[in-house]
A and B are shown apart, each in its own frame.
Chain A
Amino acid sequence: MLEMLSYDVSDLFTFGSLGAIVFGSLAGLIIGTLPGLGATIAVVLLLPLTYSMTPLASILMLIAAYQGSEYGGSISSIILGIPGTPAAVATTIDGNALARQDKAGLALGYSLAASTIGGIIGGIVLIFLAVPLARLAVRFSDPEFFLIGVAGLIAVSALSSRNGVKSALSVFLGLMVGTVGLDAFTGIPRYTFGTLELLEGVGMIALLTGMFAFSELFSIITRELGKTFASGSKKLSTGLSLAQLRLILRPATIGAGIGSVVGIFPGMGAGPASWFAYIQAKKSSRTPEQFGKGAPEGIAAPEAANNATVGGALVPLLALGIPGSPSTAIILGAFIIHGIQPGPNLFTNSGDLAMGLFYGFLIATLVMYVAGRLVTNFFARALTISNTYLVPVVLILSIVGIYASKGLHFNLWVALGVGLIAFLMKRLDYSLPSFILAFILSPIIEESWRRTMLLSDGSLSIFVVRPYSATLLVLIVLFLLATALGLSRARMRNLE
């Protein structure tokens, strides 16, 4: 914590850093507002701008966009009853109910204040967990990194799809695509079919953009192309009185606590977090009968939770170098673009950057609040943009992002192919987050496995005799048992 005090915060108050945060927040807000587009697309679309920025400014811009889009998602939920992001679905229930009582501004005020509380608590969790976790991770070696990778895959495949087999299949497909390129140990090209562009592997930005932006746009084309959403609200004031703020403080804190913890686990993300928070807020409310009729707690808890997941999701990225969500995977891409590897050594090799990100995260949350107060009214009107124009704009910005990442036209074709396959996979209930996390973890798992086997001369006992790996192994077994138990209980309930 002493490093926190010695950090020169003036780096954050430069035009570049502050401007990046403000721009990221505004972009995240508007992209999150538009139904169908969420945090991942917001971060993908801003990525090409990071090439000519400093590492601190570029990563803060992406984090600010991630935060802003989580709040932005609530704008369409509340005003139209259509969630802007999957994480804002729970907000729709009470947010839209309150808006229909001609109190859309008040509902947005609750959402904004709760999102800010969630963001700050998520930021505090990030600060207090990332450094100790990184210190612990410095002692980890290949067996532990292999097990952490496997644990991440098990968690994401168990939690991110209704169909367990398809989710596991998505994991294996992601692992397969992750093996394309030069083998890190022997230098042998694998699965490149003589294509030079594949020697470094499948481009991460092309894969992410194809998988999340193109596939989503294809879904919009087939589902709601002609739709123009109408915002009925005229003037929206998002200010809250002290009494109104006090009303949501408790549910927002509960939601933020849930969101911070859920965010840390790979594959869960803001959607489940906001539902857990909503259910918990209802259980602990003195007036649960008001839920569904515009209860402020029903807006505050899920909104605080989905913003708190942002801080939580950054914990494994910064401390272990392992992203827990598609958005943090893109932020990992921004680190790599600038030649920085997040993980246990980030705090020693680039300590200033890490501290800047911690403080910057809190500033980004406050900027989101100010931006939300100033522009929510204006952005609510953005909902009236027709998809006829929205789709070409997002499509072309995505294309620019893919090309700018490596300057290769080849990657455009990769993204197009991936987008089509992902569109079909999504329709058939495969898990795209599982696929992408497996793709990113594939080299980590393979390389740490091979080094482990070299260290142990091929003996699996290495996982049991090392205290850290043995602990991780026990945790994995416990998680598998808990998941199996949960599944069998659900099956019993279904049979009954």
Chain B
Amino acid sequence: MTTKLVNMLLLLLILCVGAGYLYYSYLISERRLGDDLRPIYFPVAVGAGIIVLSAIELLRAIRSRTEDDLSPFEMPNLGKLLATIALMAAHFLVWQRFGLFYPATFALFVGLVLVYRATFTMREIGIAVLWSGVFTALLYLVFQYAFGIALG
């Protein structure tokens, strides 16, 4: 996939968001028509601006033939990035559902280090567990104990 294509896809998405935003503004105006302090004046101007600007940029992107635009859109370590996002999402879910912030954080730290290291020897796992334990304990001491911020 080229940079140009990714650029165009994002611009299309922004164009759709702008259109959706305008449509939603229209729905709000339907409900409170005739109000002196109409809450949609500003959003309509903003929505129109988004549509106009993204359309201009989209046209420019379509016509563009620069080297940068035609180069492939590279994303090294994509697997590690996706794993990071998945681990973060899992951490949020466990924390949200069960309130287990510290155990979930301990597991997140170990998981991230192992994903980034990509080696799963006992030694690597041991080091990750050790650092994660130290870091989680520090978090507990600073936030829960010293500052009284309840995290779970």
Contact = CB atoms under 8 A, between A and B. Distances in A.
B14 interface: yes
Nearest to A413: B92
Contacts of B21: 176, 191
Please report whether the interface of chain B is mostly helix, strand, loop or mixed according to DSSP.
helix
Interface in B61-82: 73, 75-78, 80-81
Contact of B49 (A172, A179, A185, A395): A172
B105 A222 contact: no
B28 A396 contact: no
B78 to A, nearest CB: 7
Contacts of A51: 147, 149
A363 B5 CA distance: 52
Interface string A405-437: 000010011001000100011011000000000
A396 B50 contact: no
25 contacts: A48-B149, A166-B57, A179-B42, A179-B43, A179-B46, A186-B37, A191-B24, A221-B77, A221-B80, A221-B81, A221-B84, A391-B116, A392-B108, A392-B112, A395-B112, A396-B109, A400-B139, A404-B151, A416-B89, A424-B10, A425-B10, A428-B10, A445-B42, A450-B42, A454-B36
B120 interface: no
B113 A388 contact: yes
Given A169-B53, A222-B78, 9 more contacts: A48-B147, A48-B149, A172-B46, A391-B84, A392-B108, A392-B112, A409-B96, A416-B89, A450-B42
B95 A409 contact: yes
A5 to B, nearest CB: 35
A183 B39 contact: yes
B41 A392 contact: no
Interface of A: 48-49, 51-52, 165-166, 168-169, 172-173, 175-176, 179, 183, 185-186, 188, 190-191, 217-218, 221-223, 225-226, 387-389, 391-393, 395-396, 399-400, 403-404, 409, 412-413, 416, 420, 424-425, 427-428, 445-446, 449-450, 454
A405 to B, nearest CB: 11
Given A173-B14, A179-B43, A183-B39, A225 B77 contact: yes
Contacts of B49: 168, 172, 175
B26 interface: no
Interface of B: 3, 6-7, 10, 14, 17-18, 21, 24, 28, 31-32, 35-37, 39, 41-43, 46-47, 49-50, 53-54, 56-57, 60, 73, 75-78, 80-81, 84-85, 88-89, 91-92, 95-96, 105, 108-109, 112-113, 116-117, 131, 135, 139, 142-143, 147-149, 151
B68 to A, nearest CB: 9
B22 to A, nearest CB: 10
A290 to B, nearest CB: 35
A340 B40 CA distance: 29
B76 A190 contact: no
Contacts of B91: 399
B54 to A, nearest CB: 6
B66 to A, nearest CB: 12
B77 A400 contact: no
Contacts of A191: 21, 24, 43
Contacts of B96: 409, 412
Contacts of B18: 176
A283 B75 CA distance: 41
A389 B131 contact: yes
Contact of A420 (B73, B75, B85): B85
A182 to B, nearest CB: 9
